[in-house]
Structure 1
Amino acid sequence: MAKDGSEVTRATGGRRAPAGAAVLREEKTEAIRAAVFEELAAVGFARMSIEGIAKRAGVGKTAVYRRWRSKLHLVLDVVSAVAAEGLPSPDTGSLRGDIRMLLEVAARALRHPMAAQIIPDLLAEAARSPEIAEALRTALLDSQQGVAAAMVARAVERGELRPGVDARLALDLMTGPLYWRLLVVRDELPKGYLDELALAVASALEA
């Protein structure tokens, strides 16, 4: 088996890599990505280091630098990968049901201890880094905007909403209260809160 110093990339789609090319073993790549989340939650972006990530991932620094040239590019790659996964697009047959399901998924994600540490920290860094700001825009807005637009379009087709309802407004109404409660105030959601919020958002969009 090739040693770490002569890893070879599998990004060739299964084709034999050219002689002398380095192979980037997928298990190491995934270990590094997981370590990034843990380091961000533990120390924040400003104090995060390639050394700390490598140690947490159980690899050498060279294994990290073979894949990303800096911690900024590493974080941008991880954030972009999360954005690509996006939110599921609920289709329950009713606007209120779709909103309720989306709220449940979003609340579960925001309750995660890592999310509670990482998202506010990266938003603060975004004020100083246009690259991080753009990556977060993709992760936190653009990917979710498509989900909200699809929900609104289906509600219009069912006759629940009038044409022309702003999907961006719908997304603000759905996710804003959750972000405020879970990441700013850091308060638990009362029993029945998601049901009440789903009803309030649906009523506001239908008005």
Structure 2
Amino acid sequence: MIPAMPTDSGTPRRAPRAPAGAAVLREDVTDAIRTAVFEELAAVGFARMSIEGIARRAGVGKTAVYRRWKSKLSLVLDLVSAVAVQGLPAPSTGSLYGDVRALLEVAAHALRHPLASQVIPDLLVESARNPEISDAIKAALLDSQQGVAAVVVREAVARGELPEGADADRALDLIVGPLYWRLVVVRGGLPKGYLDGLAKAAVAALKA
């Protein structure tokens, strides 16, 4: 029974009821669909991906997908935007080298994930044809990382390790650019000590 609530005049009134027939979306189903999208993207790419394939992989009906997203494009844009919101954690080790090395470690872990290594290149190809995907990818892959790079540079300037006016965009290019090239474009491995050497080279270039 819904309890009565008093009004300003003292006359009891009923608490509002939920709209009849309102759908409650189960979070476990939503999570299963999101996981299926990444797996489907990795398996067949955006162009060949379908709502039917996503639903089948998630073990749900197509209706469950369409109740949450109107199309595969809106679904992918939602997922990419969620990645952008999460972003990379800003390291705070107390030194420029430590921050750069920590950032490389996190980025390398993300880029080596089997889904990311296949999904990101495919979406980058699609972004050349679709401005909406392009904007979402830019937010997920660039804007959030620029924010982290800006924190690293700002703290290094405050410690006197970098001069005033150090460029965060240049820092991002020097830190993540070579790693992305090696792991995503060339698809090479990371030899022992590679991240240490890359961190030292990036720090030296930033101080030059």
- TM-score of the superposed pair, with normalisation by structure 2: 0.91
- The 1-side partners of 2:127 and 2:98 are apart by 34
Match of 1:159 in 2: 160
Instruction: Specify every segment of 5 or more residues in structure 2 that has no aligned partner in the other structure, as ranges.
Output: 1-15
- The 2-side partners of 1:205 and 1:35 are apart by 41
Match of 2:108 in 1: 107
Secondary structure, aligned partner of 2:90:
coil
Residue 193 of structure 1 deviates from its aligned partner by: 0.8
Deviation per residue, 1:94-123 (Å, 9 max, x gap): 000000000001011111111111010000
Match of 2:79 in 1: 78
Amino acid of the structure 2 residue aligned with 1:46: A
Match of 2:200 in 1: 199
CA pair 16-60 structure 1, distance change in 2 beyond 3 A: farther
Match of 1:64 in 2: 65
Amino acid of the structure 1 residue aligned with 2:202: V
Amino acid of the structure 2 residue aligned with 1:96: Y
1:86-165 aligned at under 5 Å gives the runs 86-165=87-166
Q: % of aligned pairs identical?
A: 75
- The 2-side partners of 1:180 and 1:106 are apart by 12
Match of 2:44 in 1: 43
- The 2-side partners of 1:151 and 1:116 are apart by 25
Deviation per residue, 1:114-173 (Å, 9 max, x gap): 111101000000000000000000000111111100110000000000010110110111
Could you say what the CA RMSD is over the residues aligned between the two structures, in angstroms? 1.1
Residue 17 of structure 1 deviates from its aligned partner by: 3.7
- The 1-side partners of 2:96 and 2:19 are apart by 53
Match of 1:20 in 2: 21
- The 2-side partners of 1:173 and 1:131 are apart by 28
- The 2-side partners of 1:151 and 1:175 are apart by 13
Whichever of the two has the greater Rg, that structure is: 2
- TM-score of the superposed pair, with normalisation by structure 1: 0.91
Residue 18 of structure 1 deviates from its aligned partner by: 2.1
Secondary structure, aligned partner of 2:146:
helix
